[in-house]
Structure 1
Amino acid sequence: MNCEVCQLKELEVEHFEICEVLRCILHTVLFHRTLGLVRPKDVDLELFDITYVQCGDMEVERKIDEKIDQFIDRVEKHPNKKNQICLSFYEVKNKQATWFTNKVERLHWEQWYINLNVAQHAKGHSETVAEARSARRTALEASLRDVLFQIIRFVNDKKDHVPPIPNLEGVSFPYEITISRYLKPSIKLLSYVLPSLSSSDSAFGMDMFKRMLQTGHPTMLS
């Protein structure tokens, strides 16, 4: 089965930024894989000048928050290591049953790798430290926008692999979220990396992103 993989741009974050960054990315991807009618909910980030959209489903929010808590726990136990979250969409296939079991197989058709480098930065209240933190926060905000643009480009460009809508309950395709140590991606995983953007491209991208939020997510199936 053809599984499309999107290796998202690596982000360097501080511990207190993990939750907002992961919520923004995970909810944005899931919003683009919603099924049927949903009640989109705009969410303004507290740390960054960015607004993203959630599906408005309590179960999706619960599952995402649960995985983020697990990710933070892993970071605290293994500091100074890069970690990643993989959001995978799959189909469920029933394999040939035996006398005692009815085997179910998950066939992944799309995977999103979110790579975070949780860094420790100097603390203090000097003017130099404050300027460094401000510059780092500005750079992270720009990188997070790049990731959102990368998601939009991927869902617009990659459509042929999306399976027929399953006859299942829920607001999205079946999915799972896993946590692992960040490994250097292979050439195949790097096949879809967001190109660097000029200042004019970034401005155009922000306009495109705002229009997308106003008009709804793009059509998934051709």
Structure 2
Amino acid sequence: MNCEVCQLEELEVEHFEIREVLRCILHTILFHRALGLVRPKDVDLELFEITYVQCGDMELEKKIDEKINQFIDRVEKHPNKKNQICLSFYEMKNKQATMTWFTNKVERSHWEQWYINLNVVQQPKVHSGKSHHSKLVVDPGESSALEERSHRRAALEASLREVLFQIIKFVNERKDHVPPIPNLEGVSFPYEITISSSSDSAFGIDMFKRMLQTGHPTMLS
């Protein structure tokens, strides 16, 4: 089956930005692949001047937050590595067994995969510049660090907007591979979220090839 792959532009984030960035991207993808009637919910990001839309489904939000927690846990255990989340949509298909005494197997046939790439960086802490016995002391080095962080935040916001535009462009241009709407409950096509880092042998292009060949990405337990 034809599986369309979208490799989203890499984003450089600090640890405290991970949750908002991933929520924004994952919910945006799932909203554009939503089934039937949904109750759209606008969400304003706290760290950026960006508003995105969720499907308004509590179960979906819970699953996404669980995966983000797993991702953050992985980042903390493996710092200074680029990390990747893959959101895969699939169909359930019966696979005819070759031997008559085996029952039919049901397998997942992936038809679309989204790769979210984050480079989590460690930024030096910026002190307030206050001393115990004096007025506000402006340290030129700290002022420069604050200015640099402000520029970096603005750059990340612009990059995140570009990723959202990339998602919308992909959804609008790639439609022929989307399967018929399944007779399943829920607001989304069946999906799964997998996590990997740059230390994994299946990272990057090698991961694409392996997953497209097998159709069974390894789930993070």
- The TM tier, using the shorter chain, reads 0.7 to 0.9
User: What TM-score results when the alignment is normalised by the length of structure 2?
Assistant: 0.82
How much does 1:139 deviate?
0.3
TM-score (norm 1): 0.81
Q: 2:144 is matched with which residue?
A: 128
Correspondence 1:110-125 to 2 at 5 A: 110-125=112-127
Q: What is the match of residue 176 of structure 1? A: 192
Partner Cα distance (1:101, 1:63) in 2: 31
Per the alignment, residue 214 of structure 2 pairs with: none
1:14 maps to 14
Look up the match of 2:67.
Answer: 67
Which residue of the partner structure matches residue 138 of structure 1?
154
Q: Distance between the aligned counterparts of 1:96 and 1:3, measured in 2?
A: 21
User: 1:123 is matched by which residue type in structure 2?
Assistant: K
Q: Which residue is 2:216 aligned to? A: none
Question: Gapped runs of 5+ residues in structure 1?
Answer: 190-222
CA distance in 1, matches of 2:5, 2:12: 21
Structure-2 residue corresponding to 1:163: 179
Separation (CA, whole Å) in 2 of partners of 1:50 and 1:72: 22
Displacement after TM superposition at 1:96 (Å): 2.2
> 1:184: how far off?
3.9
User: Percent identity at matched positions?
Assistant: 82
Corresponding residue for residue 82 of structure 2? 82
Aligned residues: 188
- For 2:10, the aligned partner's letter is E
Say what the alpha-carbon RMSD is for the aligned residues.
Answer: 1.5
Answer yes or no: is 1:148 the counterpart of 2:164. yes
Moved over 6 A (4+): none
Q: How does 1:192-203 map to 2 (within 5 A)?
A: none
**Are 1:96 and 2:113 matched, yes or no?**
no
> Which secondary structure does the structure 1 equivalent of 2:165 belong to?
helix
SS at match of 2:19: helix
Higher alpha-carbon Rg: 2
Q: CA deviation at 1:100?
A: 5.5
Deviations 1:67-117 (A, max 9, x none): 000000000000000010000000000122564554211000000000000
Matched AA of 2:30? L
Shift of residue 17 of structure 1?
0.3
